[in-house]
Amino acid sequence: MGIINLAPKILDPIPGGKYVVNAIDYVVNWARANSIWPLTYGTSCCAIEMMSSSMARYDIARFGSEVFRSSPRQADLFILAGTITRRMAPAIQMLWEQIPGPKYVIAMGACTISGGPFIYDNYSVVRGAQNLIPVDVFVPGCPPRPEALFHGLLTLREKILKETCRNPWHEGEPKDVSTMDRYREAAKTWAALEEMKDEQMAEARAKFKEENPDYKSTFKPVRVKKEEFPVVERVPFKRLGLTQVELFQKLRAKFPNVTVHTRGEDTPEDLVAKMPADCPLEVMLEKEDYLNVVEFVKNDPEFKMDYLIDVTAIDYDDHFDMVTMLRSLEIGHKIFLCVQLKKDFSIDEEKRPTSLLAKVPSITKFYPGAEVKEREVYEMFGINFEGHPDLRHIFLDKDFVGFPLRKDFTHPEMIRRPI
Amino acid sequence: MSHQLPPGFRLERKSNTEEFFINMGPQHPSTHGALRLTLRMDGENIVELVPHFGYIHRGMEKQAESMSYLQYIALSDRQDYLTAIQNNLGVVIALEKGMNVGVPLRGEYIRVMLQELGRIASHLVFYGCFGGDLGGQTCLLFGFKEREMIHDMLEEVTGSRLTTNFFRPGGSRYDVPDTFIPRVKAFLDHMEDTMKDYERFLSKNIIVLERSIGIGVLSKEDAIAYGCSGPVLRASGVNFDVRRANPYSIYDLFDFDVPVFHNGDCYDRYKIRIAEIHESLKILRQCVEKFPTEGPWRSKEKPVRLPVGRYYSEIETAKGLYATYVVAATTGEKPYRIHTRGPSFPHIAALNKMVQGHKISDLVTIMATLDPVIPEIDR
């Protein structure tokens, strides 16, 4: 737009020239404001509402924005639909830089405004798109309705119509701002405002009492009658296959060390017999038995645990509980294998949060689907899997420090939830 | 080997032609969200594929540790937003097991009806995206047309279009309004007719047939080994549906079939979802007839506090097996840990098995038929 931006310099000194400049503005803004082409970009829930808004019911074509472009080089508008994570942030900045100017950004949804539901105790979400790229319009909602997106679009249209070539569209800079300082500042301001409000209220109350010493409140609380509901007993869901008692006895006959979580003075057999019918049997194993048990339950014709539901872990003070959830598709019963892994406390206390504290054999040779799940457990808890073919980070960057699902995990960008 | 392969690639090199690597995503219109795939290509054929997750990893499981159980129900909406109402039920059933609370019959009917409406809505998005990814943008308009009717009903009942946050231990947040049943009836009459249009539009379309039959075959053994579930598993010939295997809520009261197909290719995965919409309509029809007009819609309210223990629930969402694992270390309102097993994660892990030897355009078809939702993988 170099030539048009020169127009005011050349034309304004000429008598009547400013009317020509105004006419140029009118034509250029009319063209820009009525054909805002958005980029096809969406990471989560808001993307679905963005899709809905372009479909028959809501019809974004009424505003000239129906042409969703897959390439940023053909787009004018960047609708940031969905949460922005630290891993996605460089991609977003790159996309924004690839859009030719004049380009506009709508931050859609609570996540792109402030982090939304993911503000507290979070180590991976960028709290607000304005920390990465300049944003023109914010559309609140979680997710915003299509009508809200249209309101954002019309607001952007008004903004575009106010541009002139005397004050041309200005390209900002991609930023890299930490949200922590701003958050602390905002929290401080908020607390000061609350305090001020409390003081003013107290003053007003005292003043009112002085002026009307005989005042008596006529307010009577009205209690709405609550609907009465019956107490309903839960009926356990139907189950197939062997019962927990049979499963436990058969497993114990082969591996005598197998037990269950003991509570009180009950024996394991009693505890298993007391379980509700739809509660899956969760057994405790020694680490040495783990592979043998998995192999046994997979191949034994009475168990036939051919389906891996999940592998996960739980962090306790001195040990991890790694839970392998198995199911038999053919027979229908489930069994959860819980392996207790003692933490390796020979490592220095300072290095403990960033080092692998336990190891366990991998079960990928029995269940190929365990590969990704074990990578997740490795990344989140710092448990080493021996014999895993490809033990890498899966959700976080490879230079991420620490293991998020451990209880002692800290991260510089994490804000604690106020209680 | 003279040069090192990028991380994740494992196959031995077979041909003498020059191989190259292509990066697809994280911003790509047909990866259905922020997913990055790296492809190892031999000419136009895919030799191997490595998925890279984590572009929308929001740390929900870490957050859940400082939230109350009820707050977590709202987070479960944002995992698989296409089946938000079903995720709610998955979490709530786990809580009910811990609290030992039952649900009255009318509450169970409300649950089942909303589940099936959610399933149809999710499959309609699949229908639209499948057609759209094959080049027929009209399908998107078709799929979203009826989906808006479902969203109207969901909005009327739950107050929200997408993130419903509706079920609670012992029932739901509200009773359904009086207009709900007539609306569902009207929707059923409309939908049963419209399904004929849907099928006429894609099922016999020559482009769809050519591009999906025999493409992306997932064998029965692989599907089980990788832990696939839902329509993907059933299209490979395994008859497994949680609604049948471990009927939760009151699914054992209804008469419906579990469609199973045996080829395991893209066309079967498409057909099975169409068949499932028909089955959902069948269940809804029975619900509308039997819906109890009188009676309580929820049981007596109790504070949501779980005794020490571990609670597990599993349900069948539109995508597959959705399991929630709740660990309560102290009796209280907060969990020690909540873990979610989403259905899309194993599907993307098995993607490498399906695409080998196919072209890039076939990868787009295969991705569409897996119908993944990436935030549910990354959580």
Residue-by-residue DSSP string for A133-160: S--SEEE-SSSPPHHHHHHHHHHHHHHH
* Closest by Cβ to B58, choosing from A48, A124, A234: A124
C-alpha distance from residue B262 to each of A192, B127, B233, B268, B351 (Å): 67, 20, 10, 8, 18
Contact between chains at B56 and A43 (C-beta distance less than 8 A): yes
Query: Taking 70 as the threshold, does the pLDDT of residue B2 lie above it?
Result: no
Residue A3: how many other CB atoms lie within 10 Å? 8
DSSP structure class, residue A82: S
Of all residues in chain A, the percent with pLDDT exceeding 70 is 97
Q: How far apart are CA A94 and CA B125, in angstroms?
A: 29
CA-wise closest residue to A84 among A52, A49, A109: A109
Q: Which of A85, A142, A238 sits opposite B247 (nearest CB)?
A: A238
Class of domain B60-378: mainly alpha
**Residue in A with minimal Cα distance to B309:** A261
Residue A152, φ and ψ in degrees, nearest 5: -60, -40
Confidence of residue B248 (pLDDT cuts 50, 70, 90): confident
For B288-310, b where at least 16 C-beta lie within 10 A, e where not — what string? beebeeeebbbbeeeebbbeebb
Model-level ipTM above the cut of 0.90: no
Q: Flag if A43 and B59 touch (Cβ within 8 Å).
A: no
Averaged pLDDT score across all residues of chain A: 85
Q: What are phi and psi of B328, to 5 degrees?
A: -110, 115
Mean pLDDT of A121-149: 88
Closest chain B C-alpha to A165 CA, distance in angstroms: 34
Which of 78-137 (A) contact B at CB < 8 A? 82-83, 85, 87-88, 91, 95, 117-118, 120-125
How far apart CA A268 and CA A270 sit, in angstroms, is 5
User: Per-residue confidence at A221, pLDDT binned at 50, 70, 90?
Assistant: confident
Residue appearing with tokens 């079960």: A363
3-state SS class at B312: strand
Q: Per the CB < 8 Å rule, is B375 touching A44?
A: yes
Arithmetic mean of pLDDT, A283-302: 87
| Residue in B201, B346, B329, B199 with CA at minimum distance from that of residue B274 | B199
Mind telling me how many Å the CA of B263 is from chain A's nearest CA? 19
The phi, psi pair for A112, rounded to 5°, reads: -80, -10
> A232–B321: do the CB atoms touch at under 8 Å?
no
Question: If we measure between CA atoms, which residue out of B36, B32, B228 comes closest to residue B130?
Answer: B32
Where is B42: in which H helix or E strand? Answer: strand B36-42
> What is the average per-residue pLDDT within B144-170?
89
**Phi then psi for A400, rounded to 5 degrees?**
-70, 135
What distances in angstroms separate CA A280 from CA A21, A246, A247, A336, B328, one per listed residue?
Answer: 76, 13, 10, 7, 16
Residue B369 has pLDDT above 70, yes or no: yes
Q: Does domain A244-386 have CATH number 3.30.460.80?
A: yes
Cβ–Cβ under 8 Å, residues A323 and A366: no
Residue A169 predicted with pLDDT over 80? no
Do domains A2-181 and A244-386 share one topology? The answer is no
Between CA A89 and CA A125 the distance in angstroms is 9
- pLDDT band for position A162 (50/70/90)? confident
Q: Please tell me the predicted confidence (pLDDT) of residue A150.
A: 92
Under 8 Å CB-to-CB from A180, ≥6 apart: which residues?
A412, A413, A415
pLDDT value of position B322: 92
A183 exposed, middle or buried (CB, 10 Å; 0-12, 13-18, 19+)?
middle
Residue B298 has pLDDT above 60, yes or no: yes
| Cβ within 8 Å, pair B246-A230 | no
Q: Could you tell me which of A76, A69, A80 has the C-alpha nearest to residue A45? A: A80
pLDDT of residue A202: 94
Residue ranges covered by each domain of chain A: 2-181, 244-386
Instruction: Please report residues of B whose CB lies closer than 8 A to that of A238.
Output: 246-247, 252
What letters, b where the CB count within 10 A reaches 16 and e where it falls short, cover A203-223?
eeeeeeeeeeeeeeeeeeeee
Q: What is the pLDDT of residues A323-362, one digit of tens each?
A: 999 988 888 888 898 998 888 888 887 887 787 888 889 9
Is A234 close to B97, i.e. CB distance below 8 A? yes
- Predicted local distance difference test score (pLDDT) of residue B323: 92
Q: Is pLDDT at B132 greater than 70 in this prediction?
A: yes
| Contacting residues of A for B375, CB less than 8 Å apart | 43-45, 82-83
Q: Which of B29, B74, B378 sits opposite A395 (nearest CB)?
A: B378
Closest chain A CA to residue B101: A234
Q: What would the pLDDT profile of B23-66 be if each residue is shown by its tens digit?
A: 887 888 777 778 888 988 888 888 889 999 888 898 888 888 88
Q: Specify whether the backbone of A369 is left (phi greater than 0), alpha (psi in -120 to 50) or beta.
A: alpha
| CATH number corresponding to A2-181 | 3.40.50.12280
Rounded CA-CA distance A378/A317 in Å is: 18
- The residues pairing with B45 across neighbouring beta strands, listed in sequence order, are B42, B359
Name which of B12, B23, B31, B55 to mutate to probe chain A: the one with the most chain A Cβ atoms within 10 A of its Cβ. B55
Out of B151, B224, B300, the one facing A229 most closely (by C-beta) is B300
Structure confidence at residue B1 as a pLDDT band (50, 70, 90): very low
Task: Say yes or no for a CB contact (<8 Å) between B8 and A390.
Answer: yes
**B32, B146, B310, B330, best to mutate vs chain A, most A CBs in 10 Å:** B310
Given pLDDT bands bounded at 50, 70 and 90, which one contains residue B137? confident
Which has the minimum average pLDDT: A217-221, A402-406, B27-31, B356-360?
A: B27-31
Name the residue of chain B whose CA is nearest to A313's CA: B339
Residue B267 above 70 pLDDT? yes
Chains A, B: CB contacts within 8 A come to 222
DSSP letters, B341-360, are E-SHHHHHHTHHHHHTT-BH
**Spatial distance between the Cα atoms of B307 and A263, rounded to a whole number of angstroms:** 12
pLDDT tens, residue by residue, A177-207: 666 667 778 888 888 999 999 999 999 999 9
Beta-carbon contacts of B240 under 8 Å, excluding residues fewer than 6 positions away, are: A329, B229, B233, B234
Query: Cα-flanking dihedrals φ and ψ of residue A416, to 5°?
Result: -70, 140
Q: Which of A8-22, A224-238, A261-275, A286-300 has the highest mean pLDDT?
A: A286-300
* Chain A residues 294-323 with a CB less than 8 Å from chain B: 306-310, 312, 314-316, 323
* B319 touches B193 (CB < 8 A): no
Instruction: Specify whether the CB–CB gap between B246 and B263 falls below 8 A.
Output: no
Mean pLDDT to the nearest integer, B230-254: 88
Q: For residue B240, give the chain A residue with the closest CA.
A: A329
C-alpha dist (Å) from residue B26 to A41, B51, B191, B258, B297: 10, 10, 36, 35, 44
pLDDT of residue A178: 67
Partners of A97 on chain B (C-beta within 8 Å) are none
Query: Concatenated DSSP letters for B275-302?
Result: HHHHHHHHHHHHHHHH--SSS-SS----
Report the alpha-carbon angle A143-A376-A330, nearest 5.
95
Side chain identity, residue A47: A
Q: Between A242 and A404, whose confidence is greater?
A: A404
Phi and psi at A418, nearest 5°, equal -65, 140
For residue B99, name the pLDDT band (cuts at 50, 70, 90).
confident
